[in-house]
């Protein structure tokens, strides 16, 4: 199970109506001003932007300072803090520690918000009484007018069920949070160069008691898809270890919880066994110990296809390759 957050990591009570936008950055002088402009263009006020610079050396600090001088207002506060490079999770935690908002939105410094995003979020928070809102977003690549990747928010209120079934892929841009929920989740986990957003959302959606969640089935933000991709990280041993660790966390959080039915658990086991089979076939079986142990504790029965995967994983690597091909699974 996830450990309890420290009591003093951020204040519990926030300023009513204030929306905190957390913007970590590192050497993003070419994109951060556009990201900040997308926050300034919001139809909602009041807003505070918390810019956590993780040791930039490319002129980001100077560009941000000029932007703050030109744009900060009483109902549009901007706080900037610089620290030695330690990783994006620590930067987000530093920003949260000095935040004041009732609501929280994370925004990476190369992504963009649509102007009506925060206004629609606040209206939904108020009308539905939820703690967590999932939204849609679009992916884009600079200079490529033909590239458009659209992911709409799911209409189902049970976001955890979607997560268990592999139909929800979290990122930092999609969700928005009430401050109290962030406080319950705890800090972003240090030492995760990738998949830290998946880890954070898993911890959010499996809290006990479960948070109140909702969804806006609209695209309200844009994610820049240039540079390093998560899919590239997944092809490395460290990336695979972190991804497998997230799935193990998810399995252990649902064990023994009455809120999750057997059908959800069957779907979860099937996904995890596919991930384990691919990992073993790729020669990375050493990352699977905790996940396989957790899977063995999930409720039965197990479909025949999943039993075949399990037997292959317990066998040698060549068997995994054969089973992957037989099941038409990409390795």
Question: What is residue 83's three-state secondary structure?
Answer: coil
Bridge partners (DSSP) of residue 151 are: 137
For 112, phi then psi, to 5°, come to: -135, 145
The lowest-confidence range among 38-52, 54-68, 132-146, 151-165 is 151-165
Rounded to the nearest 10 degrees, the angle between the axes of helix 32-40 and helix 60-71 is: 20
Q: What is the pLDDT of residues 16-42, one digit of tens each?
A: 999 999 999 999 999 999 999 999 999
Q: Indicate whether 2 belongs to any domain.
A: no
What is the tens place of the pLDDT at every residue in 72-123? Answer: 999 999 999 999 998 999 999 999 999 999 999 999 999 999 999 999 999 9
Q: Same domain, yes or no, for 249 and 204?
A: no
| Residue 214 within a domain | yes
Q: What is the mean pLDDT of the chain?
A: 89
What confidence score (pLDDT) does residue 89 get? 95
- Say yes or no: 169 and 20 in one domain: yes
Model confidence, pTM: 0.91
| Residue 73 DSSP one-character state | B
Which of these three, 193, 227, 261, is where a domain ends?
Answer: 227
Between CA 290 and CA 5, with CA 298 as vertex, the angle to 5 degrees is: 60
At residue 304 the predicted structure's pLDDT band, cuts being 50, 70 and 90, is confident
Q: Is cis: bond before 119, omega within 30 of 0?
A: no
Same domain, 246 and 311: yes
pLDDT, position 330? 52
Q: Are strands 132-140 and 149-151 parallel, antiparallel or unpaired?
A: antiparallel
Q: What is the pLDDT of residue 231?
A: 52
- The string of pLDDT tens digits covering residues 226-278 is 755 545 677 899 999 999 999 999 999 988 787 887 788 888 999 999 999 99
C-alpha gyration radius of the chain: 21
Whether pLDDT at 328 is above 90: no
Query: Read out DSSP for 157-211?
Result: S-HHHHHHTT-----SSSEEEEHHHHHHH-SPPTT-SSSHHHHHHHHHHT-SSPP
State the total domains in the chain: 2
Is 3 domain-assigned?
A: no
* CB 229 within 8 Å of CB 273: no
Range of the domain at 221: 15-227
How confident is the model over 143-156, as pLDDT tens digits?
777 777 888 877 66
Domain boundary among 200, 227, 254: 227
H helical segments located in the chain:
32-40, 60-71, 88-97, 117-128, 159-164, 179-185, 196-205, 230-233, 237-254, 262-281, 289-295, 304-314, 317-326
A 10 A CB-CB count for 23 gives 26
Highest mean pLDDT among 59-68, 151-160, 209-218: 59-68
Question: What is the separation of C-alpha 224 from the centre of its chain, rounded to a whole number of angstroms?
Answer: 15
pLDDT at 233: 73
End position of a domain, from candidates 195, 227, 259: 227
pLDDT given at position 230: 45
> Binning pLDDT at 50, 70 and 90, where does residue 12 land?
confident
Separation between Cα atoms, residue 163 and residue 282, nearest integer Å: 25
4: helix, coil or strand?
Answer: coil
Residue-level pLDDT at 28 = 95
Is the per-residue pLDDT at 67 higher than 60?
Answer: yes
CATH of the domain at 114: 3.90.550.10
44, 119 in Cβ contact below 8 A?
yes
Find out whether 134 and 197 touch, Cβ atoms under 8 Å: no
- SS3 category, 214: strand
CB 227 within 8 A of CB 139: no
279 plus 175 within the same structural domain: no
Dihedral of the CA atoms 9, 195, 162, 20 (nearest 10)? 40
């Amino acid at each position: 199970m996830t450990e309890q957050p420290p009591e003093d990591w951020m204040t519990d009570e926030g300023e009513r109506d204030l929306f905190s936008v957390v913007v970590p950055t590192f050497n993003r002088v070419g994109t951060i001003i556009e990201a900040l402009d997308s926050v300034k263009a919001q139809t909602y006020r009041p807003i505070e932007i918390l810019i956590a610079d993780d040791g930039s050396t490319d002129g980001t600090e100077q560009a941000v300072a000029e932007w703050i001088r030109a744009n900060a207002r009483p109902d549009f506060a901007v706080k900037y803090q610089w620290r030695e490079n330690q990783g994006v999770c620590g930067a987000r935690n530093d920003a949260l520690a000095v935040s004041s908002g009732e609501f929280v939105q994370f925004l990476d410094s190369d992504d963009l918000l649509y102007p009506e995003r925060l206004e629609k979020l606040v209206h939904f928070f108020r009308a539905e009484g939820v703690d967590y809102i999932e939204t849609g977003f679009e992916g884009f690549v600079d200079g490529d007018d033909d590239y458009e990747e659209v992911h709409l928010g799911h209409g189902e209120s049970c976001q955890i069920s979607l997560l268990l079934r592999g139909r929800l892929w979290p990122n930092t841009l999609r969700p928005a949070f009430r401050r109290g929920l962030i406080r319950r989740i705890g800090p972003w986990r240090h030492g995760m160069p990738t998949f830290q957003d998946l880890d954070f959302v898993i911890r959010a959606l499996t809290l006990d008691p479960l948070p109140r969640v909702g969804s806006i089935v609209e695209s309200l933000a844009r994610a820049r898809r240039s540079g390093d991709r998560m899919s590239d990280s997944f092809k490395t041993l460290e990336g695979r270890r972190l991804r497998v660790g997230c799935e193990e966390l998810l399995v252990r959080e649902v064990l023994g919880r009455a809120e999750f039915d057997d059908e959800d658990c069957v779907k979860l086991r099937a996904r995890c066994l596919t991930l384990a089979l691919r990992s073993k076939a790729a020669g990375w079986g050493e990352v699977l110990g905790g996940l396989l142990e957790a899977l063995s504790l999930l409720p039965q029965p197990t479909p025949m296809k999943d039993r075949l995967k399990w037997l292959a994983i317990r066998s040698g690597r060549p068997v995994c390759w054969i089973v992957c091909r037989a099941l038409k699974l990409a390795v």
